[in-house]
Amino acid sequence: MKSIKKLLFFLLVILLGFQVQAQRCGAHIIKGDLDISYKGTADKRYEMNSVMKFPQAIYVAHYLDSCCISLDKRVTVKKQDLDQNTWSPMLKIIDEEREFSYGELLALSLQQSDNNACDLLFKLCGGPRDVQNYLRSLGFKNIRLKWTEKQMHSKPRQSHDNWCTPRDMAELLNWFYCERQSSPVLMYIWDLMLNCETGNNRIKAALPPGAQLAHKTGTGFSKGKTLRGINDVGIVIMPNGDYYPIAIFIKRTKREEEVAEIAKLLLSP
C-alpha cells in the first residue's frame, strides 16, 4: 500500500511539474484561419511589462484622432518632473527642459521602450483605465491595465496587475494589422514597430530569410540569473506576403533566446 501511495505521489509531482512548466511559457499565433496555442497556454494570464506600450499606443492613436491632435503637436517636458531611476533614453537628451512632439514620445516608447515617454503619454492622453476601457470597446476583455510604469517601479509586484492572455494579444495584433491603414497615426505606429530597436534575440532571431517583424518587447524585474517577464509580441510578414500575429510570454527563464526557440516552433510549417 505504501509503495502504491509513493508511486501515486510521484506521478502527481510529475503531472504538476509539467503543468507549471507549460504555464511558465505562454504563446499564441494566428496563421490565417488557424489559431495555434503553445502547450494550451493561449488563455492563461501573463504580465505584460513593457508590452503594454503597444495597446497604449493603439489607444493614443484613437485619442489623437478623436481630438484632432497632430503627431507634430509639441509639449514641454521638464527633466525634474521625470523619473530619474528608470529606463529612459530621453533623459540623455534633456538638459533642463525640452519640447517633444506626440510622434517623438510614441517613438521613444515603442522603439526604445522609454518608461518616462510611456508615462507622459498616460498623462497627456489618458491613464491605464482609459486604455483598458477603449480595448474593451473593441472587444478585447483579457488585456488589463491598472498601473503606469512609475507605479510598477515603485512596487514591482503591481506589474502582475497589468496582464493579458496570449490569445487576446495576438487578436489585438491582428486587429491592428487589418486597421492600420485607417489612420495616419496607426500607420505611424506600424512603421515604428517595424523598426523596433529592442529584442534582437527574441522573435526576430527566429525569422526565416526575407521575413519582417513589427513588434514590441517587454522585460520584467529580474533576480540573479533568472530573467522574469521575457516577452515579445508582433506581426511577422513572410516573404510571400502572409502575415502571422504572434505573442510570446515567458514568466521566468535563464535564457532570453528561449523566446526565439518558441517562435521558431510556432512559425514552422
Containing structural domain, residue 85 = 27-267
Domain for residue 224, yes or no? yes
Domain for residue 106, yes or no? yes
- Per-residue pLDDT tens digits for 3-42: 554 444 443 333 334 344 447 999 999 999 999 999 999 9
- What's 68's domain CATH number? 3.40.710.10
Is residue 182 part of the annotated active site? The answer reads no
Catalytic, out of 50, 88, 109, 159: 50
Domain for residue 20, yes or no? no
Can you read off the three cell numbers belonging to residue 50? 513593457
Q: Locate cell 501573463: which residue?
A: 46
- Per-residue pLDDT tens digits for 167-187: 999 999 999 999 999 999 999
- Per-residue pLDDT tens digits for 227-251: 888 999 999 999 999 999 999 999 9
Domain for residue 48, yes or no? yes
Q: In what order do the strands lie in the sheet with 25-31?
A: 34-37, 25-31, 243-253, 227-237, 212-218
Domain for residue 15, yes or no? no
Question: Phi, psi at residue 214, to the nearest 5°?
Answer: -105, 120
264 has pLDDT over 80: yes
Task: Please report the pLDDT score of residue 3 as a whole number.
Answer: 55
Domain for residue 236, yes or no? yes
Domain for residue 13, yes or no? no
What is the amino acid identity at position 57?
A: A
211 has pLDDT over 90: yes
Question: Can you tell me the distance from the alpha carbon of 246 to that of 45, in angstroms, rounded to the nearest whole number?
Answer: 16
Domain for residue 143, yes or no? yes
High-pLDDT (> 90) share of the chain, %? 82
Number of domains in the chain: 1
